[in-house]
Structures are given as C-alpha cells and as structure tokens.
C-alpha cells in the first residue's frame, strides 16, 4: 500500500440496500486507509454497485464502464474498477469477458472481502467473488473494529434481513440476493447503538422482506420485527423508526399492534401489492388476493389511523388483460395510497414469468402505466394538500437553500422546508404546514416558536 491515502468512489444504483452496502464497502476499505471521494476522476478504486431488478440494468453498467474507460484513458490514469451488486451476482465472470476494464467482480454477500480482492487485482488477477455467504457478511459487518468511513447523517439505514424466499415469478431478487437470512438481535442492537452514539436520530430497518425478520434473540429464540422494533425504541437518542420493504403475507398481528403502541414507529408504510387482479396476483405467486390486501390495510389503519401508505405496481405482467388492469385501478382507490411506484413489467432472465405466453406489447404497457401514474399522482397531490394547515413534527436534517430555512422530514416521509427556523440538524421541531409543492411541504415553526422541542411528542394517532 502506498503512503498516499487511497480514494474510493462508489456509484450505487437501485434500492436502499445498495446505499447501505455502499457505506459498508467504505467502512471495510476505510480500515485499510481508504477515504471516499465524490468523483470518479480522482478515485484509485471505482465500484459500480449495480441493480438488476428491471430492464437494461446490465446495459447501463456496460455503458458506464465505457465512460469510465474513456475518462481514465484521457486522463492517463488506471484506477481499479470493480463491479458489485446484483448485476455482479447475476453475470459473474461474463462481465470480465465483456469489459476488459473491469478488474474484479464482487457479489452482495462478499463485500467484506474487498480489501483482499483489490490486492489480487493489483497483483494482476481478475478475481470473481459471488459466493452466497450472507452470515459471513453480517459477522464481518458487525466487527466493532470496523470504523465508519464517514460521519453518519441524521437518518441512517440498517440492514436487518437480506434475501427472499418468496419467489414472485417476475422477481430476480431470490436469485441475486439469495435465501432469506436475518441478522441476530444482538448484532442489530449493537449497530443501532453505535449509530445513536454518533448522532443518528432516525433508523430505517432494511430487508427485501423485512417483516419476515426472524433474527435470533438474546433468549435464543427468533424475534419478530415487532419485537425488534419495540427493543430498538428503547434506545435513547433514536427518535424515529421505519422499516422497508414488507410483504403482505408476513405482516403479523404484533406488527399491526406495534403501529398502535410504539410512538417512535412512524406512520408510514411501504407495502407493495403489484396488481389488483386476483388472477395476476396468482400468476405472480404473491399468495394473497386483492381483498386480503385491502382488509390488511384496514386493520393496520385501525391501529394507526393516520398511516400514509405507499405501494409498488407492475403493469403488463404476462397475460394481463384490460379487465385485470381495471382491477389494479380499483385497488388504488380502495387502498388509498399517499404515494406509489409504478413499473412496466420487465422480463428478467431466469425468472419463471420471463418465458411465459401472453407478453404484453409495449404500447399497451405504456398506456396503462400513464393512466395509473396519472391517478396515483392525483392522489399523492391530494394527500399532500390534506396536510396543509396541520401541525406536524419534523426531524430536521439539513440547512435549506435559503438563509433561515431548514429541511427535514415529516412523519409521512415527505420532505418539509421550514422557514425562519433556528433548529439544528437532528432536532425535532413542531411546524404548521403552510403549503404543498410537487414533492415537498412548506412550513413555519408551530405557533411562531423557533426552537427545537426537547422530547418526542406523544403519538398523534
Ligand atoms: N419488472 C417490473 N418491475 C419489477 N419489480 C420487481 N421485478 C420487476 C420486474 N421484473 C418491481 C416490483 C418491486 C419493485 C422493487 O420493483 O414492483 O416491488
Ligand atoms: Fe421479489 Fe417478491 Fe421477494 Fe419482493 S417478495 S423481493 S418482489 S420475490
């Protein structure tokens, strides 16, 4: 290793778990004397942390690699280039064949091996590490010696569970992230306490199927997500808890009760339904009906009436008819979403639905997507307008664009710009919402008060 500090640049695509993983890569390499940089141009090691969930993911990676190669050639530099994440897991050594600039390929379960893989690459090897050993990853990540490479922000992600055993027929996750594995309660608590100690006020627990969490508790028995949340809410300094993404089938009664009983658990839930048609839900192997989903939402709202719900939808799954799509439009009304993410079906290599008959033409998918998106945007705007005039608690995250303005988040995850606010990042402030923009709210400190409130307010449910 040279005396100069080595610089690491990680570019993440896709989900929040990749964001979390990028920080863990930085931690693992921080212990080896690396510091992070925001630009590929001065990096000694460039990592593309890829996503394989939808179409053209691999193509995007190859075109990015082409750009990196060109920029490095022009600058007369030769950084180590690594491909990580789900495309790495899915394509493995194929990436080395297609792209001569790539020095190493590392799957999501092997980031603890990065220092060793980089050393091999420097010695002229082109290592590929796509083993499924998620327990090893978690153990390595839990090592207290692993120092964070940069100060955590007010809000942090914490992976508690990885992988998926559900095998929805459209989804590549069970193949790229492997079988479901939960971290132990002790590991999660250790990491949460470290985060709290460094000033983090909000933790979002991550998992591909986070409500299937069943990590080993201190009593040697599996703990549910609800129990974990209850224990985490005892940590001083942590003011807010969230979790994502859940599956309707795993949503236990104790998790519903947690939304009633834990004031720190925020009233926002991302619970994808994918389609409103029972026929399509069956073909997707979701193992629930539209009515069961709506009934579940009803029970969660009984526990937490102000819950803001968001969902994911796929249009154009193989065999989807106009009537099936109308069922999806109907569930959007029935479930009353505050926000949603909509996708055109994208056949993923190796998944059961990819080869099925009845693939829906792109023009039909585009039409359906536009209609669904339009309705969802209307509902999202209506939800945001419904908050105008309300008093909310905001977790302040950063200074705003204008002097005296601070930016933070509402309990419902929507960003809030607060005028004339002298609170600091990490403070909880009460605000009166004065207006709603496209993707954020505008607010003033409640009752004209300018300071932070020391205690978490009582739940408003
Ligand atoms: N095509 C389109 N959308 C998909 N998703 C997952 N796989 C596919 C696919 N093959 C969507 C689902 C999931 C979200 C993360 O991505 O809606 O909930
Ligand atoms: Fe994919 Fe379904 Fe698992 Fe979600 S639950 S990760 S959509 S297989």
Model confidence at 31, in pLDDT bands (50, 70, 90)? confident
SS (H, E, C) the chain: CCCCCEEEEEEECCCHHHHHHHHHHHHHHHCCCEEECCCHHHCCEEEEEECCCCCCHHHHHHHHHHHHHHHHHHHCCCCEEEEEHHHHHHHCCHHHHHCCCCCEEECCCCHHHHHHHHHHHHCCCCCEECCCCHHHHHHHHCCCCCCCCCCCCCEEEEECEECCCCCCCCCCHHHHCCCCEECCHHHHHHHHHHHHHCCCCEEEEECCCHHHCCCECCCCCECCHHHHHHHHCCCCCCCEEEEECCCHHHCCHHHHHHHHHCCCECCEEECCCECCCHHHHHHCCCCCCHHHHHHHHHHHHHHCCCCEEEEEEEECCCCCCHHHHHHHHHHHHHHCCCEEEEEECCCCCCCHHHHCCCCCCHHHHHHHHHHHHHHHHHHHHHHHHHCCCCEEEEEEEEECCCCCCEEEECCCCCEEEECCCCCCCCCEEEEEEEEECCCCEEEEEHHHCCCCECCCCCCCC
C-alpha to C-alpha distance for 365 and 60, rounded to whole angstroms? 22
Is there a domain that residue 450 lies in?
yes
Ligand 2 mutation target, pool 16, 174, 248, 351, most atoms within 8 A of CB: 174
Question: Looking at the 3D structure of the chain, how many domains does it have?
Answer: 2
Is there a domain that residue 398 lies in?
yes
Q: In sequence order, what are the residues at sequence separation of 6 or more whose Cβ sits closer than 8 angstroms to the Cβ of residue 399?
A: 405, 406, 407, 425
Is there a domain that residue 90 lies in?
yes
For residue 419, give the CATH number of its domain: 2.40.50.140
Model confidence at 454, in pLDDT bands (50, 70, 90)? very low
Is there a domain that residue 105 lies in?
yes
pLDDT for 349 beyond 60: yes
Is 171 near ligand 2, meaning CB less than 6 Å away? yes
pLDDT digits (tens, 9 = 90+) for 307-347: 999 999 999 999 999 999 999 999 999 999 999 999 999 99
pLDDT for 453 beyond 70: no
For residue 117, give the CATH number of its domain: 3.40.50.12160
pLDDT for 149 beyond 80: no
Q: Distance, CA 166 to ligand 1 centroid (Å)?
A: 13
Is 54 near ligand 1, meaning CB less than 6 Å away? yes
Is there a domain that residue 59 lies in?
yes
270 and 246 in contact (C-beta within 8 Å)?
Answer: yes
Q: Distance, CA 177 to ligand 1 centroid (Å)?
A: 14
Q: What is the pLDDT of residue 3?
A: 54
Q: Which ligand is nearest to the CA of 250?
A: 2
pLDDT for 284 beyond 50: yes
Is there a domain that residue 50 lies in?
yes
Domain coverage including residue 129: 6-133
Model confidence at 153, in pLDDT bands (50, 70, 90)? confident
pLDDT for 2 beyond 80: no
Model confidence at 141, in pLDDT bands (50, 70, 90)? low
Domain boundary among the residues 100, 133, 166 is at 133
Is 311 near ligand 1, meaning CB less than 6 Å away? no
- Per cent of the chain over pLDDT 70 is 93
Q: What is the mean pLDDT of residues 4-19?
A: 91
Q: What is the pLDDT of residue 243?
A: 98
Model confidence at 460, in pLDDT bands (50, 70, 90)? very low
Q: Report the mean per-residue pLDDT for the chain.
A: 91
pLDDT digits (tens, 9 = 90+) for 40-86: 999 999 999 999 998 777 788 999 999 999 999 999 999 999 999 99
Q: Distance, CA 250 to ligand 1 centroid (Å)?
A: 18
Model confidence at 215, in pLDDT bands (50, 70, 90)? very high
pLDDT digits (tens, 9 = 90+) for 175-201: 988 899 999 999 999 999 999 999 999
Is there a domain that residue 424 lies in?
yes
Domain boundary among the residues 102, 133, 164 is at 133
C-alpha to C-alpha distance for 394 and 46, rounded to whole angstroms? 36
Q: Distance, CA 323 to ligand 2 centroid (Å)?
A: 24
pLDDT digits (tens, 9 = 90+) for 80-128: 999 999 999 999 999 999 999 999 999 999 999 999 999 999 999 999 9
pLDDT for 459 beyond 50: no
Is there a domain that residue 202 lies in?
no
The closest-lying atom of ligand 2 relative to the alpha carbon of residue 312 is 7
Domain boundary among the residues 99, 133, 167 is at 133
Residue nearest to atom 18 of ligand 1 (CA): 312
Question: Using CA atoms in the order 24, 112, 207, 50, what is the torsion angle rounded to 10 degrees?
Answer: 80
Q: What is the pLDDT of residue 151?
A: 57
């Amino acid at each position: 290793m040279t005396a100069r500090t080595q610089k690491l640049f990680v570019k993440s695509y896709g989900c929040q778990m990749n964001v979390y993983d990028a920080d863990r890569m930085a931690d693992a390499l921080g212990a080896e004397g690396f510091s992070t940089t925001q630009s590929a141009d001065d990096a000694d090691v460039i990592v593309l942390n890829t996503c394989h969930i939808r179409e053209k993911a691999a193509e995007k990676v190859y075109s990015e690699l082409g750009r990196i190669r060109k920029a490095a050639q022009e600058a007369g530099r030769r950084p180590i280039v690594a491909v990580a994440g789900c495309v790495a897991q899915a394509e493995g050594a194929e990436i080395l064949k297609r792209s001569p600039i790539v020095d190493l390929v590392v799957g999501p379960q092997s980031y603890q091996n990065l220092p060793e893989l980089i050393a091999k690459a420097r010695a002229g090897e082109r290592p590929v590490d796509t083993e499924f050993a998620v327990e090893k990853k978690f153990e390595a990540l839990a090592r207290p010696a692993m120092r964070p490479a940069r100060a955590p922000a007010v809000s942090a992600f914490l992976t508690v569970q990885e992988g998926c055993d559900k095998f929805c027929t459209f989804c590549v996750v069970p193949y790229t992230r492997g079988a479901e594995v939960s971290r132990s309660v002790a590991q999660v608590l250790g990491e949460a306490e470290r985060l709290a100690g460094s000033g983090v006020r909000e933790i979002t627990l991550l998992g591909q199927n986070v409500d299937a969490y069943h990590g080993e508790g201190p009593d040697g028995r599996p703990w549910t997500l609800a129990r974990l949340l209850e224990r985490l809410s005892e940590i001083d300094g942590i003011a807010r808890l969230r979790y994502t993404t859940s599956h309707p089938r795993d949503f236990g009664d104790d998790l519903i009760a947690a939304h009633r009983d834990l004031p720190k658990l925020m009233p926002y839930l991302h619970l994808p339904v994918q389609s409103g048609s029972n026929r399509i839900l069956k073909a997707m192997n979701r193992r629930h009906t539209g009515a069961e989903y709506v009934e579940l939402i009803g029970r969660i709202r009984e526990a937490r009436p102000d819950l803001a719900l968001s969902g994911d939808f796929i249009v154009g799954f193989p065999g989807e008819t106009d009537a099936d799509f109308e069922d999806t439009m109907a569930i959007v009304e029935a479930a009353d979403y505050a926000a949603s993410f909509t996708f055109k079906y994208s056949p993923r290599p190796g998944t059961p639905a990819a080869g099925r008959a009845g693939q829906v033409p792109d023009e039909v998918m585009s039409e359906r997507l536009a209609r669904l998106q339009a309705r969802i945007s209307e509902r999202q705007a209506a939800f945001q307008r419904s908050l105008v005039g309300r008093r909310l608690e905001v977790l302040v995250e950063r200074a705003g664009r204008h002097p005296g303005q601070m930016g933070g988040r509402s309990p419902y995850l929507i960003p809030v710009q607060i005028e004339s606010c002298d609170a600091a990042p990490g403070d909880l402030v009460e605000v009166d919402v004065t207006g709603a923009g496209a993707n954020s709210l505008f607010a003033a400190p409640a009752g004209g008060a300018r300071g932070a409130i020391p205690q978490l307010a009582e739940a408003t449910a």
